[in-house]
Structure 1
Amino acid sequence: MTIKQIIDDKSVKRLEKRKAIIEGIINGSFDFSAVSAACSLLPEKKVSLLLEAIEEVSRSKEFSLEKDYLKLSESYILSSDPSCKREASRIVGNLADAFPENLDHAITALLQNADHEGTVIRWASAYALSRIVIIPQYARGPLFEQISHLYEKEEETGVKNQYSKALKKAKKFR
């Protein structure tokens, strides 16, 4: 069964679909080319489910994703679908320390979403940016000041807390 077939199967619940995709990625049934192909065939509303599965795998300590997943996620940070934005941002945050040299485009997009009207989108951007700024090269760079500015103007406590914790950790590298 392909990823598209799993996602399009109306007889299977969303959580079961996500679990099947996660298992397929981890056991090698779905390599990156299969994931990428599914993304190109599916509307963004359905891609969000695939991104949810990738996000869960990207949090795993036992399994690591390749750099291509970072690039794929980066392409959905500015999606018109809020769920895609959220999951893509979280994936970038989870993979940031593994690929610190490949984050410039993602940072630009995340900074755009940091001003989004939706709290969930701002939180997801804060999540990713907070994981990026604690990487020494970013802690010592302009991103630290940009996040400090975002922290100052943010009114939502959950988003603000993401920035606060990261800024404290990043100060150690300045």
Structure 2
Amino acid sequence: MTQDNLLWSDVLGLLKDRMSKPAFETWFKETKAMIEGNNWIIITPNEFSRDWLESRYLSEIKEAIYSTTKEEANVAVIVENQSVGVSQLDVKIESILTQIEFLTQNEKVKILSLIKDKFTKEIISSKPQCGEQNTENSNYDEPNRISNLEKEVKQLKDELTGLHTEIRLLKKILANQNSGDTQEQG
């Protein structure tokens, strides 16, 4: 059993003691975890389980992790088929996106602006200047161009991932507000 599995097993033991057996069996029995430092990715078998854990059990998961490790954890919940090929970089990115979710809109705009400025300057500095030839003596060549395009694609993918996460969060907030409105009317 890997260290991740051992820690997750300990966390699951605490969660099992804190809830009914049917709830535990339904929502936690088939989960796995990937851990890097205080960044935890909980892997569920399907989207419904992911959504349920995020909306109903995230604070309990964080409390159980804290009880086990004595560290505050950044927790993200994903669907198993999304975890195929998940690398340590993916864990870091998911952790950063999770942290960004809790920022104000102004803070998110500022971070996005800083990231765009930094990467735009790097990309511009690697492009040929007007009249510069694409020769071996040049600072610009085809491999650099491809590398820069790959960076741009990755940046766009990361931005889209962030937007997707924000949209999911906004949908949850709206759903919670709508359910609150429905309860008030009832």
The answer, yes or no, to whether TM exceeds 0.5 is no
Structure with greater strand percent: 2
**If the length of structure 2 is used for normalisation, what is the TM-score?**
0.32
Larger radius of gyration: 2
